[in-house]
């Protein structure tokens, strides 16, 4: 039985997709990571860390506008998390620098 076929389909199945998304990002399999994060979001759209980690992958894909949108979702869900705001600011500054180059 492989990892994917042994997944539980219960209410916590989103955790498996979330963890797989993180692992795939670490392997530079960014498109596959996005798929897993999207599955996690479909099962638990209110967990801010999923949106944050999806934004990291989107940055790796150089999809900065989409990354900022995901960061906005994370901030809306967890407005007290400083890391989300700092990351959004860094991505925004990077986009501005890219336009100037």
**What pLDDT score was predicted for residue 2?**
40
Question: Which pLDDT value is given to residue 12?
Answer: 76
What per-residue confidence (pLDDT) applies to 99? 84
82-93 confidence digits (pLDDT tens): 999 999 999 999
Distance CA 83, CA 38 (A): 21
The pLDDT, as a whole number, for residue 3 is: 40
Domain range 13-100, its CATH number among 2.30.40.10, 1.25.40.10, 2.102.10.10, 1.10.10.60: 1.25.40.10
For the chain, what is the total number of helices (H) and then of strands (E)?
Answer: 5, 0
3-state secondary structure of 19: helix
**Domain residue ranges in the chain:** 13-100
pLDDT band at residue 11, thresholds of 50, 70 and 90?
A: low
Q: What pTM, to 2 d.p., does this model score?
A: 0.85
């Amino acid at each position: 039985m492989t990892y994917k076929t042994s997944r539980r389909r219960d209410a916590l199945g989103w955790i498996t997709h979330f963890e797989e998304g993180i692992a795939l990002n670490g392997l530079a399999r960014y498109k596959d990571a996005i798929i897993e994060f999207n599955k996690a979001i479909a099962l638990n759209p209110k967990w801010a860390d999923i949106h944050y980690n999806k934004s990291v992958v989107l940055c790796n894909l150089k999809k900065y506008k989409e990354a900022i949108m995901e960061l906005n979702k994370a901030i809306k869900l967890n407005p007290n998390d400083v890391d989300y705001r700092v990351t959004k600011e860094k991505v925004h500054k990077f986009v501005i620098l890219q336009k100037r180059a």
